[in-house]
Structure 1
């Protein structure tokens, strides 16, 4: 068995074990806030006329205040692995903003080099490359051009994140426990996930089946993020969002009118609430981009 095949099997076994573990635990679910209940959808699976999935899509939702003509904030949803065409389209979209705020836990002002950070031989790097090859997709950090002058780092530094997590007692084990309680990976939708995973691994169209399988899990991104947040928020979502929106406030105060916020789609239910409650903005329109092709 090749190294790649072993890695694919290992990933499948991890996913399979996580499914069983998460489904076995039942704890108190987190309720949506009133604003989150009215929030737009930011990630979905699109189906064709026959009801078959043909794309995993992310949204670009525009927020504005009629009393401030010409000023708007777009929440531009991201998935961190996707089709080459998806990232090419995003690179074109980003040219239209006065400021494009982006996420990466890194020192203040970090600018990602073209082609992404320098690769290394770590286990994490190997796992990432295995996932990329398994699904036939590309990495966001390698395909998005972060070098234009309108790109603005809007995230915590590693020191800020560590300090906030320590203050809140918000470790990764705690977040994982919340996911377990909420049943992040569901044995639902009329499908036995273990059987579906094994069938996908040995199918002739393995990449397509694996993409559809992972997409079906990502389709409940909102519920997964609520589980991570818990009742009192989390460093990973709400606190990083607060940091990002400090930067957003500064950009607006500096006279920027066309602003994009490029973050993982799971951050956006909380960001929607902040835009409505703290900035007095309302969603005006939604456009959809195809992140994954689920037909081939």
Structure 2
């Protein structure tokens, strides 16, 4: 691809407001211009740095919870929807150890994702595939094996999603406005600027430099995830989380004792609070997996 073609195809990325929204879609998270209350939730996505304070990896968390009065164990397994092949292979191995793996995908109830799935053909799926190529990473739906029997679809159907958005008066423009507000806040704090993005786009080491820029945005998850939420929650985060936990509750009633909830990292702060408040769980430990190499 020529440099002029590359510039034209990636032109939206140099608009910080659209860039923030794209990041939000990729992680099923958002951004917030208002100050949000502190929580006791762990970092579900972070940038790991070496002794010289240089970024070496974008990491996602696996947070381990246990019931206070029983033997139920629930892990919140954070995901970025594009990542290293080794990252997804590690997850595939870990998922074999669970009684049930709750997974996200806005699709008809009970959907089974075929192995090596290329995406849904939606605009979001198209963005994710495009970002995969730009950052020289892999697409989650292609690399995670959803075919084992312990995988359980735990998300809204398209009809439920559309109805909830309509009932709440939520929509793309409202989410865009909130994301745009956080983009301005990040700019005032010295976030990635247009010049840095342009330099990365035309660098000989383009993929790594773009990863670093994106990782710095993504790692600000505590603020980012709440913009799409707004003050009253949103379909894309809190309402889908409620659906996931409804499905998980049925699995618990069916006798499942060792459960993973595999969702975009932007969902997990809300899920953490639900586990503590609604399920009587305690956070026992957190481990981190390298999702992107940054050097």
Note whether the superposition's TM-score is higher than 0.5.
yes
CA contact (8 A) 2:36 2:223 kept: no
Aligned to 1:92: 93
Aligned to 1:43: 45
CA distance in 2, matches of 1:118, 1:228: 23
Aligned to 1:62: 64
Could you tell me which runs of 5 or more consecutive residues in structure 2 were left unpaired when the two chains were aligned: 21-31
Task: Report the alpha carbon displacement of residue 125 of structure 1 after superposing the two structures with TM.
Answer: 6.2
| CA distance 1:115–1:48, shift in 2 (3 Å) | same
How large is the Cα RMSD of the aligned pairs? 2.3
> Which segment is superposed worse, 39-48 or 126-135?
126-135
CA distance in 1, matches of 2:218, 2:184: 10
Aligned to 2:7: 9
What is the TM-score normalised by the length of structure 2? 0.89
CA distance in 2, matches of 1:168, 1:263: 23
Aligned to 1:29: 34
Could you tell me which runs of 5 or more consecutive residues in structure 1 were left unpaired when the two chains were aligned: none
Matched residue count: 284
After superposition, the C-alpha distances for 1:236-295 in whole angstroms (9 at most, x for unaligned) are 000000000001111111110000000000001110111111000011010100000001
CA distance in 2, matches of 1:20, 1:103: 24
> Which segment is superposed worse, 236-245 or 184-193?
184-193
| CA distance 1:17–1:40, shift in 2 (3 Å) | same
Task: Report the alpha carbon displacement of residue 66 of structure 1 after superposing the two structures with TM.
Answer: 3.7
Tell me, what secondary structure is at the counterpart of 2:76?
Answer: strand
Tell me, what secondary structure is at the counterpart of 2:292?
Answer: strand
Tell me, what secondary structure is at the counterpart of 2:270?
Answer: helix
CA distance in 2, matches of 1:113, 1:184: 41
Q: Does 1:292 align with 2:292?
A: yes
Task: Report the alpha carbon displacement of residue 142 of structure 1 after superposing the two structures with TM.
Answer: 0.3
CA distance in 2, matches of 1:77, 1:167: 29
- Higher-Rg structure is 1
After superposition, the C-alpha distances for 1:88-123 in whole angstroms (9 at most, x for unaligned) are 000001001000000000000001110014686x87
CA distance in 2, matches of 1:88, 1:276: 30
| CA distance 1:21–1:67, shift in 2 (3 Å) | closer
Aligned to 1:167: 167
| CA distance 1:251–1:161, shift in 2 (3 Å) | same
CA distance in 2, matches of 1:117, 1:77: 21
Task: Report the alpha carbon displacement of residue 201 of structure 1 after superposing the two structures with TM.
Answer: 1.6
